[in-house]
Structure 1
Amino acid sequence: MPPSPTAALRALWFGPHTIPLSQTFLLTPLTYGLVNLKPIRPGHVLLATRLPHPRFSDLSPDEVADLFLQAQRVSRAITRHFGAQSLTLCIQDGKEAGQTVPHVHLHVIPRNEGDFPDNDDVYEKLEHTHRIDNEERTPRTPQDMAGEAEMLRKEIGEWNTDTDC
């Protein structure tokens, strides 16, 4: 029996960054989910396109559809596991919008009443503390990120769609 299409896959690209599979929790032919190096809330994860498109308008209709279908799927798991009352779903499309990695990605951020003094503070926090080069927040360890990814893989279920991943 031949190896699965993901057998040779060791890592994914997130802009210029290499993401080990141990830090991913969802994989489809067009989208993958990764845990966040510097989450602004517990359970803050990212969904990225498999191809490294820098802007949302560069996505094909199929990529847009899959990104948002997977966002629904991940949203249910994040809400359940982290006890979120609500979610903030956010795409920063371009540098001027706060995008720090030039690769289309959607933030899924669990929310609860009173988690920020002003509800819209989440966007300021996202812009100022999510930056990979920001020194205000200590990055999580690879082991912590792998543990969260494993938990989310179990929560979400099927790892891939057995198509050309």
Structure 2
Amino acid sequence: MAPHPFDPRALPPDVPCPFCNIISAYPPFPPSAPPSSTSPAIDPSKLAPAAFIVLSTPTLVAFLDIMPLSSGHVLLCPRAHKPKLTDVSTREAAELGAYLRVLSKALVRTTGVQDWNVVQNNGAAAAQVVNHVHYHLIPRPEIRASGRFSESFTMFGRGQRQELDDEDGVRLAGDLRRNIAVVLREEGSKGKL
């Protein structure tokens, strides 16, 4: 059901959702048998909008953040446009939760970073920039490397964020897809997920 035109959660008609644009360009693929980075179905240089897809199910999509807070920063969102977490269906919520855990394991394997944040913002006042529900999975290597385990830090602070390098994005996305498949195979043999 489309939102009522006066629904404050509705996107202005002249501002397309960037996540919906990405989602529409990338078809689902089996997470346990992902395509290679050079596959036309996933190669960011062959598709517009270019994105570094790490997971694409019929319900969800995960891709690298193009302005990462750290290397490996991933976004996970439902395919259907839903502005806030309270808008997702029970099925979408269950799949988001299951894949947050799988993506977390794959992210640790891919980056070697043992600490990470999972962040989900709802609404402009809560720092949600894109009006499409999404989770951030953010590796936190700086704190571990410095030994400052008790020091606090600002999640979305004033620090300079650099654009994701295309070669790094292709490599990271490919490594993440492979590690997601490994995690799913390991858990499948244990009867999980």
Distance in 2 between residues matched to 1:25 and 1:112, nearest whole Å: 21
Q: Is the 8 A contact 2:68 2:161 kept in 1?
A: no
Shift in CA distance, 80/138, structure 1 to aligned 2, threshold 3 Å = closer
* Percent of residue pairs bearing the same amino acid type: 30
**Corresponding residue for 1:137?**
161
Provide the secondary structure at the position in 1 that maps to 2:156.
helix
What's the CA shift for 1:151?
Answer: 1.8
Return the structure number with greater strand share: 1
2:174 is aligned with 1:150: yes
What's the CA shift for 1:52?
Answer: 1.3
2:174 is aligned with 1:124: no
The structure whose Rg is larger is: 2
Partner letter of residue 137 of structure 1?
R
Matches within 5 A, 1:13-162: 15-17=17-19, 18-19=21-22, 21-22=42-43, 23-112=52-141, 114=143, 118-121=151-154, 123-125=155-157, 136-157=160-181
Aligned residues: 136
Shift in CA distance, 138/114, structure 1 to aligned 2, threshold 3 Å = closer
What's the CA shift for 1:31?
Answer: 1.0
**Corresponding residue for 1:8?**
none
What's the CA shift for 1:142?
Answer: 4.0
What's the CA shift for 1:147?
Answer: 2.9
Distance in 1 between residues matched to 2:137 and 2:178, nearest whole Å: 18
Shift in CA distance, 46/144, structure 1 to aligned 2, threshold 3 Å = same
Partner letter of residue 149 of structure 1?
A
What's the CA shift for 1:140?
Answer: 2.2
The answer for unaligned runs of 5 or more in structure 1 is 1-13, 130-135, 159-165
Distance in 1 between residues matched to 2:18 and 2:141, nearest whole Å: 33
User: Which TM-score applies when normalising by structure 2?
Assistant: 0.62
Partner letter of residue 15 of structure 1?
C
- Show structure 1 runs of 4+ deviating over 6 A: none
Distance in 2 between residues matched to 1:149 and 1:63, nearest whole Å: 23
What's the CA shift for 1:85?
Answer: 2.1
Q: Is the 8 A contact 1:36 1:145 kept in 2?
A: no
The answer for unaligned runs of 5 or more in structure 2 is 1-15, 26-41, 44-51, 183-193
Provide the secondary structure at the position in 1 that maps to 2:94.
helix
Partner letter of residue 145 of structure 1?
G
Shift in CA distance, 38/67, structure 1 to aligned 2, threshold 3 Å = same
Shift in CA distance, 138/50, structure 1 to aligned 2, threshold 3 Å = same
Distance in 2 between residues matched to 1:138 and 1:124, nearest whole Å: 13
**Corresponding residue for 1:10?**
none
Partner letter of residue 124 of structure 1?
F
Shift in CA distance, 139/66, structure 1 to aligned 2, threshold 3 Å = same
